[in-house]
Structure 1
Amino acid sequence: MQVKETQNEGLKRGYQFTLPAADLAATVDAKLKEAQPEVEMKGFRKGKVPMAMLKKQFGPRILGDAMQEAIDGALKKHLDESGDRPATQPKVEMQNGETWKEGDDVVVNVSYEALPPIPEVDLSSLTLEKLTVPAEEAAINEALENLAKSAQSFEDRKKGSKAKDGDQVVIDFKGFVDGEAFEGGEAQDYPLVLGSNSFIPGFEDQLVGAKDGDDVTVNVKFPEEYGAPHLAGKDATFECKVKAVKSPAEAQIDDELAKKFGAEDLDALKKQIAGRLEQEYAGAARAILKRSLLDQLDEKVKFDLPESLVEAEAHQIAHQLWHEENPEVHDHNHGSIEPTDEHKKLAERRVRLGLLLAEIGQKAEVTVTDQEMTQAVLRAARQYPGQERAFFEFVQQNQAVQQQLRAPIFEDKVVDHIAEQAKVEEKTVTKEELEKAVEALDEL
């Protein structure tokens, strides 16, 4: 195989591989001779089929296989010798593909962008701030009050009392559209909290002032974007029977409340809440530390970037942001979305940091364990209740999905490794100061 360089500009590489026809023919003959003893054909004993007939019967397929093996082998040898790491799959085109015939040399053009050499970075020169937020009494009490509200109970009001906002009414109802009852529009003994906005807009308002035993006709209109298309935008009438009017009972923050949430007593529940709050604060503090770490790396390390990776990342960013701005579009049947200069700038940062973190992780021998991958798959599977087994099988058969799950784990472990080498100062702050720091991240 003869190799000639055709391009070496920046990270772009181009080569022309030429496989002489004589070498290709010799490879085909060798493969046919190797297979000949095992070949059986009508009219001939096993192993006695003439070479000419073997070549006529199997030659074209073996020729194609030999050509592919030769090109793949030459490309692998070239990459091993040059040390190049293609940023994306190399483009391989047969120069004389349309006119090539057996007996001609095979000429193949190969092009790719090489990954750039990644400069060393002194990780000890990074200065990071690790924020710590203790769970304050006020935050714990606020969480307890929210739990009490969620465990709220209702007690019967005095006979004849009119329902008011915040009360619970127990009703039987049946809905009609165009005079016909519709599926899913009927229920008995339904507990509805007025003002909860859990029903169609306007429904709950018409039950304010109702008393136990009242029959109330509720007239509403389904929203234009209602989940059931056959009801969307339709006028509806609900015949309601009020069977009880109840007022909210003030929940007591005590040991009984704690037991409702699986704690032994109130002190134990407070400790659980404190632990959960501090875990949430730690997650936010980590995000702040990680942003600072990435910002400093982005500032310190500069190198050439493969245009193909930057372009692909910019298109992905533009596409993702477009869908966030147009949430009503769930498919991809839309026009081309061209990245802006801002998208390209962000793409350059992501590609640069991605390559840098990958290099640092590789040198530090950072790996993602099977256990960590299993936990990631389990977390992702929770998004598909009832279809977990199908999701597991899908992940096992899809390398791209496995990489999507593995990448953030690898990145977090590399960030941890870098933080261990950096100068880290711990600082205790309030919840409000932490929230301001998180808000600042979104503004960048």
Structure 2
Amino acid sequence: MAEPQAACVRGTGLSRRALLRAGGLGSAAMALSGCSVLASTAGVGDNVRVGVAWSAAELEAFRAVLAGYRYGYELVPLGDDIASALGARTAGRPDVVAMPQPGTVSASIDDLAPLPDDVWQPAYDGIAGARDGRHFALPFKLAHSSVVWYRKRLFDEHDLRPPQTWSDWMELNQRIIDDPALSDAGIAPLALGCADSWLLAVSFENVLLRHFPATYDKLSEPSYDPDLWRRGDVEEALRMLAGMWVVPGAVSGGLDRALVLQYPDAVQEAFLYRRAAMVVAPDYAESVIRRFGAPEGEVDTFTFPAREGTSPPLAVAGDLLVVVKPARESAWDLLRYLAKPQAPMPWIRDTGGFIAANPETDDRYYSTTERRLAREVREQPIRFRLADQLGPVGGRDGLGRVLQQLVRALADGTPPATAAREAARKMVTIAEDAG
């Protein structure tokens, strides 16, 4: 998932929003021609165009990865419109796309070229599937999404312990709320970034997966009954979240303020401004935390709590590299470069918040926390994020919008059970309309 901030590829001041307003991939390529990163193309042909969803620090980190590539390339940042790159047939469409949504890859597989056998590893089999014995998507970056970041020193100083279960977590939140030393200092249990609805979706997916994995798996199927959204497990997961967020003092700044906070703001609320003890965010929040110099010893994580006595899968996301037909030789050359275990090293070393899909990537430059999270993703059962598998139903105008409306209803005084029931009803309608 890309950070929702404006970014420029070369320094022309072209923001992501301005780029998207330009409309279409042809316009995007034309608009970016003045700030693309170009290099010698001797022996390869035209520059290979690389479509990405990343922006801001993540985009700069990927530029550092590409700095070692020996031939020419152009970066085409597409933000939330990244799916449009797979079916496009304009002159400026990308050749290689870093796609964050496995569901979109599956739906667009006829537009993709099969991968050469020499880039595939058996370790990828559990991340990206095959069709007719051929692979079409190369795992590049993984994201551990069952992560709660917390202020370790604050926990230690106040004898707080990371929760193991949901009831533990509710009790922990109440302890923080009731502690005069913390409340007087303006510290709330949670930071919540509702303006970026995908962050709300991460919390919902984790509650559903870590408590009701069978229902999560049914919703992940390509053809599922939309009425599943009205199932008791879904409504209960929504009610659990609503019940946590609505507690007075639980969310830093209150729900009204949370509705205008974006993802980086929520992370900074905990680790820069220190107004929250915890924040739910994927492993790549590390790159945000690093920017303002929070000491590693003051930062730690715990795994999103699960139903007591169970060990359900972890939620993960990932960026999969695909080559759009008709494939040019330069596209395959770049893909092979990115497939090398050392390719992501600049991102891991200098920016952080990166888990390499390639198991042969040297982990010496991971932080202690990121190394542990990478090991969890490799060693424990995983499921891809539900929103990334549902297409528009899981996007900002589907699940994301419904969760924002749930928070708004809570802020306006709607009881959690009522808000959860209404959110489930809306999801049924959205899923039915999507066909």
Using structure 2 for the length normalisation, give the TM-score: 0.22
Answer 1 or 2: higher relative contact order, Cα 8 Å, separation at least 6.
2
Say which structure is richer in strand.
1
Bigger Rg over Cα: 1
Using structure 1 for the length normalisation, give the TM-score: 0.21
